[in-house]
A and B are shown apart, each in its own frame.
Chain A
Amino acid sequence: MNETILEVKNLHVSFKTYAGISHAVRGVDFDLKKGETLAIVGESGCGKTVTSKAIMGLLPKQNTMIDKKNGAQILFHGEDLLGYSEKKMTEIRGSKISMIFQDPMTSLNPTMKIGDQIAESILIHNKVSKEQAHKEALEMLELVKIPNAPQRMKQYPFEFSGGMRQRAMIAMALACKPEILIADEPTTALDVTIQAQIMDLIGSLQKELNMAVILVTHDLGVVASVADKIQVMYAGKIVERGNVDEIFYRSTHPYTRALLNSVPKIHTNNKETLYSLKGTPPDLIHPPEGCSFAPRCEYGMKICRLKYPRETVFSDSQTCACWLHHPKADTKGLPETMIRGGR
């Protein structure tokens, strides 16, 4: 069994907004083992990006509250990152845990040469000479398969195309050989053919450097080929988690099912009505009592609107928070693969 390097426990994050306090993340727990790929899947506003930024300590200080009263912890090798000072966090960021973002343009400094930027991130964390840093930067660019790397070192971000920028961003994030790479929608802004290139690249680098990857995305298609574990988030909570086969073929939460079914399959007939959820995700300033998915759930029961369900455990990897798995639940008309409780 691989060692656990990251553990997130009961994380609650809220933001002050003009309209009131928005509860973006409402109790998230998970762990991450060395070398594995965890995918956090959910729609916009479900709290997946906030969770990853909380791990990186990148949430804006002035309007964010991480509720520590409920025993919230982010343990990295057993040490709580939430208790770290900004200075200590800076040491971890980029060297032990790195992050790449959806839009590489906003995370690269437009006035600095690409090579200098990568070298700088090496210099911050390692005591090496400038020449050595530049040499390593060049190796990194070659590692992420940027053609003509020596020339590219001397170019500015605007001279790079979208896919090349994302490669440079990855090179920068991996320059110090981190143990964890958090990839927040790394391919959303890219075209399909480029998207495939970047996902392949992340996958091969992961094996090479034996690092753990947290892949944050809304695209189940991207997840299918790369993830080991998947957790599905809705309105600030993890509603279901499992390994790839469990989530794709034996999912137990109606929201996961809805996500999977609302995408047309290769074999669906043209213009057939797609499964679609009614309504929109809830307002996180006044999150509903009970299950937040209840207002959109066709199998919703009275209790769903009153009380949040317990997590039901189906296997070592699969759990689901839904009242449908309660012994008293009305499971009429539900797909058989969905209700497997007790069997």
Chain B
Amino acid sequence: MEERKVLIEVKDLKKYFNVGRHKMLKAVDGVNFKIYQGETLGLVGESGCGKTTCGKTVMGLYEATGGQVIFDGVDIHSLNKKEKKEFTKRAQIIFQDPYSSLNPRMTVGDIIGEGIDIHKLYTGKERQEKIYELLELVGLNKEHALRFPHEFSGGQRQRIGIARALAIEPEFIVCDEPISALDVSIQAQVVNLLIELQKKRNLTYLFIAHDLSMVKHISDRVGVMYLGNMVEFAESDELYDHPLHPYTKALMSAIPIPDPDEEKRKKRIPIEGEIPSPVNPKPGCRFAARCRFATEKCKQATPELEEITQGHFVACHRVRELQDK
């Protein structure tokens, strides 16, 4: 197999928010991963696990507190203004909420054309043609260019958001929960569109979601986050078939499956309590407080991600002994 090109490398990324005197909200605390060109990396986890913050920091929308985001060989947090603008031409983001992500005072045409205007890619007639082309690409028609966002449904708005991101022909797109706010039948439209675009344009995605079945469907590799840490990382089939981290196992078993027999068959691994606050987290494994297998060691030392099988990384002290059980 030929060596695949690493498009993005995230090294020990940290993003803290100061939320009061001596209170640090450690949203992302030392995350590492690589994204190869043309693949989709999924990030899953429950609310407050830092997956969205991670995506926005990778995009440079947040300043990183520590660590590096290396895009095509350059750390994006060390770019000057001009280089930063160049970077925005290559990386884009799609947001979760299709209602707040479109400016209500701009026409759909101007929303999609904003990137074209900023980077002065096309003007006049060419710009117009490009906007029409994008609208058709996402399944809307030309006439919609003069309409305002409030006239569209959630799914249509989300597709407008996708068209806006695609307008400047980026190589990399962060999809920040692009389907969470949509109805089931509309989710499939959007996911199909994303997959189709990826095939056509060799796009690279960082796909963030809490819907585990959709993430598995769209991603090549998946990372599971818990309280700012990456706890498990593997090829998506491998992760879903053989989850190793106790948290991943519990999470997988909690997904409701739209199939009554399957639902009866599967054994749910109960998980006690709720996600603790990410403000001033305790040392040790973040999951220790809710983990059935936690020992003294788990409460003191933070486990590092280690490769258990080929390409399957887990951050758990007891993973090897639990593997056989």
Contacts and interface: CB of A to CB of B under 8 A. Distances in A.
A277 B254 contact: no
B218 interface: yes
Contacts of A276: 185, 188-189, 192
Nearest to A192: B254
A245 B260 contact: yes
Interface string B129-153: 0000000000000000000000001
Interface string B232-256: 0000110010000000001100111
A317 B254 CA distance: 29
Given A192-B251, A196-B254, A270-B216, A262 B264 contact: no
A277 B268 contact: no
Interface in B98-139: none
Contact of A43 (B46, B185, B256): B185
Nearest to A248: B260
Contacts of B32: none
Nearest to A273: B192
A20 B275 CA distance: 45
Contacts of B274: 161-164, 194
B302 interface: no
Interface in B184-225: 184-189, 191-192, 195-196, 210, 212-214, 216-220
A30 interface: no
Max chain B CB contacts within 10 Å: which of A161, A218, A225?
A225
Contact of B188 (A195, A222, A274): A274
B258 interface: yes
A162 to B, nearest CB: 8
B262 interface: yes
Given A218-B183, A264-B216, A274-B188, A225 B263 contact: yes
Most chain A beta-carbon neighbours within 10 Å: one of B255, B256, B274: B256
Interface in A292-336: none
Interface in A216-272: 218-225, 244-245, 248, 258-260, 262-266, 268, 270-272
B250 A221 contact: no
B52 interface: no
A191 B192 contact: no
Contacts of A194: 46, 274
A77 B102 CA distance: 49
B220 to A, nearest CB: 7
A132 interface: no
Given A263-B184, A271-B217, A219 B256 contact: yes
A280 interface: yes
Nearest to B256: A221
B153 A280 contact: yes
A192 B212 contact: yes
Contacts of A275: 188
A107 interface: no
Given A262-B187, A263-B184, A191 B210 contact: yes
A224 B256 contact: yes
- Pick the most buried of B187, B210, B254, B262: most chain A CB atoms within 10 A of its CB: B254
Contacts of B271: 193, 197
Contacts of A197: 270-271
| Residue with the greatest number of chain B CB neighbours at <10 A, chosen from A163, A192, A248, A276 | A192
B185 A274 contact: no
B185 A262 contact: yes
A272 B192 CA distance: 8
B156 A280 contact: yes
A192 B258 contact: no
Contact of A193 (B216, B240, B251): B251
Contact of B268 (A44, A196, A224): A196
Given A191-B47, A192-B251, A193-B254, A264 B263 contact: no
B257 interface: yes
A100 B260 CA distance: 25
Nearest to A272: B217
B151 to A, nearest CB: 11
B296 interface: no
Given A191-B46, A225-B263, A268-B217, A277 B210 contact: no
Given A225-B263, A266-B262, 9 more contacts: A193-B250, A224-B259, A262-B187, A264-B216, A265-B213, A270-B236, A273-B195, A277-B188, A277-B189
23 contacts: A43-B185, A43-B186, A161-B274, A164-B274, A191-B47, A191-B275, A193-B271, A197-B270, A221-B255, A225-B260, A225-B264, A244-B260, A258-B185, A259-B184, A262-B184, A264-B217, A266-B240, A270-B218, A270-B219, A270-B220, A271-B195, A271-B218, A277-B189
Q: Which 4 A-B pairs have the closest CB atoms?
A: A221-B256, A262-B188, A276-B188, A191-B46
Interface of A: 43-44, 161-164, 191-197, 199, 218-225, 244-245, 248, 258-260, 262-266, 268, 270-278, 280-281
Interface of B: 46-47, 153-156, 183-189, 191-192, 195-196, 210, 212-214, 216-220, 236-237, 240, 250-251, 254-260, 262-264, 268, 270-271, 274-275
